[in-house]
A and B are shown apart, each in its own frame.
Chain A
Amino acid sequence: QKEVEQNSGPLSVPEGAIASLNCTYSDRGSQSFFWYRQYSGKSPELIMSIYSNGDKEDGRFTAQLNKASQYVSLLIRDSQPSDSATYLCAVNDSSYKLIFGSGTRLLVRP
Chain B
Amino acid sequence: EAEVAQSPRYKITEKSQAVAFWCDPISGHATLYWYRQILGQGPELLVQFQDESVVDDSQLPKDRFSAERLKGVDSTLKIQPAELGDSAMYLCASSSRLAGGEQYFGPGTRLTVT
Contacts and interface: CB of A to CB of B under 8 A. Distances in A.
Q: Do A and B bind each other?
A: yes
Interface of A: 4, 31-32, 34, 36, 41-46, 49, 88, 90, 92, 96-98, 100-103
Contacts of B44: 100
- Interface size for chain B: under 10, 10 to 19, 20 to 34, or 35 or more residues? 20 to 34
B99 A42 contact: no
B100 A45 contact: no
Contacts of A49: 102
Residue among A41, A44, A97 facing the most chain B CB atoms (10 A cut-off): A44
B72 interface: no
B89 interface: yes
Nearest to B92: A43
Which DSSP category, helix, strand, loop or mixed, fits chain A's interface?
A: strand
Given A32-B100, A44-B91, A90 B107 contact: no
Interface of B: 33, 40-45, 48, 56, 89, 91, 98-108, 110
Given A32-B100, A43-B108, A103 B89 contact: no
A44 B102 contact: no
Contact of B42 (A32, A42, A43, A90): A90
A106 to B, nearest CB: 15
Contacts of A36: 105
Nearest to A98: B103
Contact of A43 (B41, B99, B101, B105): B105
